[in-house]
Amino acid sequence: MIAIIDYDAGNLTSVARALAHLGFAHEITASPEAIRRADRVIFPGVGSAGSAMAGLKRRGLDKVLHDFYHSGKPLLGICLGTQIILGHSEEHQTPCLDILPGKVVRFDPKSRDDDGSPIKIPHMGWNRVRVERDHPVLAGITAEDEFYFVHSYYPEPRSIEHRIGTTVYGTAFASIIGCGNLIATQFHPEKSGRAGLRLLNNFCGWTPC
């Protein structure tokens, strides 16, 4: 069973719909017991870091996520879920989960796009991902594949070893991060067409070493 964590941070039904399309059993849950029992966990999210962390702590899910990560079972972060697995977010100066060391930073509004125009914040739309290191969850993903992004902040892991894929939007930023049994995407695979479904399908069949 795949647990999709519910902590009032939205975007759960689209993840569930994608898993149903792929044929994987899943449940949307805020139950610590159900999450601990799950074979794998998806940690999605949209909104602000502060309200997300408050929702997790209110339900005791901050500790559950740490416990699940240390269990060695597969864990997938998506968008805001990817950001708050790091230590600190510049968004309202929010202390986060600190599962991986690093911080979350806001796009610089002075940054320029490829055509020289100022970037728009939030970053919203389709962009490619450059895979920096091979990973089973990225099997079959090509340099031409595009993924859907909606965000004003991005993850900046402390270790380059945790930087799995990058995307350029004004600056090159980590769009896929991970370590061991954890992989996390700044983009929304559940909204990214065939390439996103391939990534989700890979995750659902992944057995971390």
Give me the active site residues, please: 79, 188, 190
What is the number of other CB atoms lying within 10 angstroms of the CB of residue 16? 18
Roughly what angle, to the nearest 10 degrees, separates helices 61-71 and 49-59?
80
Contact in structure between 192 and 147 (CB atoms under 8 Å):
yes
How does 70-93 read in b/e, with b if 16+ C-beta sit within 10 Å? Answer: eeebbbbbbbbbbbbbbbbbebee
Q: How far apart are the first and last CA of the chain?
A: 20
